[in-house]
Amino acid sequence: MIYLDNAATTAMYPECLDDFRKYGVDEFFNPSAYYAPAGVNAHVVAAARKTILSALGAPDGANLLFTASGSESDNIALRCCLKRKKGTLIVSALEHAAVYNTAKALEAEGYALKVAECDKSGAVIEDRLYDLIDEDTVLVSVMHVCNETGALNDVKRIAAEVKRRCPRCVFHSDGVQAFLKVPMTLAGSAIDLYTVSAHKVHGPKGVGALYLAPGVNPSTFVYGGGQEFNLRSGTENVPGIAAFATAVEKGKGLRAQKAEVCAAHKRAIDAFLRANFGEKVRITTDIERSAGGIFHFAFADVRGEVMVHSLEKKGILVGTGSACSSKKAQKRIPDALGLKGGYAEGAIRVSLDGTESEEDIAAFCDALADCRKVLEKYARI
């Protein structure tokens, strides 16, 4: 099997299994208990918090809230950090569903919502975003790396300009597809909130985190025993949190090497598509302005879902886009990318990890061409 859907999830590092064994079986204690072994587990959670904050280049006084997922972190960022009970939210057109749908829910509850346009590669159009800001703006959310196309947004620059125009508003960035793939130093930035997720960086599923800049104090999201600074009560997932930190420690040393490999492989796929499919394919990823291993394109006359299943039969796994929205018929993503007609249903997302070989990429390209030859016989007219 050749796995090319790493933006959906990654294989957990084997070293993370040691954390599950140690803190789930051997030293399984509740970190909130008063006896000494439980105190050790509390220190494990605290150490993991420091590890991840360090990887984010966080400033002194910043905090990290552990959650169950990137989606939960996004929900907390939007729902619990608003300083006013009414006002305007601004999100980009290609935000992850966890941001976009939360913003829509808040709109139904009385907030105004403005959607910032993105270009055809998936990057937010900064000038048009800034034009939406006014004195009623309470929150702006722009993802760091687009989970559909890999487009890179300069969120530090955007946050600074947003705060210059509206100092009181909160700035959030979903960094799930950027963490450990793009160099990031949050210290000195105007970013208030930044979302990360363990399973996108070879950690376990079911663990996420939300960076809180100094002075950012969300309201309580889950009431209970007061864990996680009384913001998200519930017994901490010590095995998962420890494994997240293990994945971060290993992954940060591999970032530069993986980025180089991903860039080379994206260029190879880009060249293959242009040489073999011409106008039959629309390449949405701009490889010079993207990050990580995401490469997105769309066929004009072959449905993406059909191509995914055809490639699967050849032992190659890819996606059609975000796994969080791929099962729902919706036009938001293709519309935001300017994909019309058959292209709107022909999307394929290849997402690399940097551990793939040149042979893997060649095998994918060959399989894509073979499947295309078969499927074009049934192409829509």
CA distance linking residue 244 with residue 32, whole number of Å: 20
CA distance linking residue 295 with residue 311, whole number of Å: 16
Q: How far apart are the first and last CA of the chain?
A: 33
**Active-site residue among 81, 118, 262, 324?**
324
3-state secondary structure 114-156: EEECECCCCCECHHHHHHCCCCCEEEEECCCECCCCCEECCHH
CB 64 within 8 A of CB 208: no
46 Cβ contact partners less than 8 Å away, ≥ 6 residues apart: none
CB 252 within 8 A of CB 54: no
Question: 362 is written with which tokens?
Answer: 């060649």
Q: Is 262 a catalytic residue?
A: no
Tell me the three state secondary structure of residue 273: helix
- For the annotated catalytic residues, the residue numbers are 324
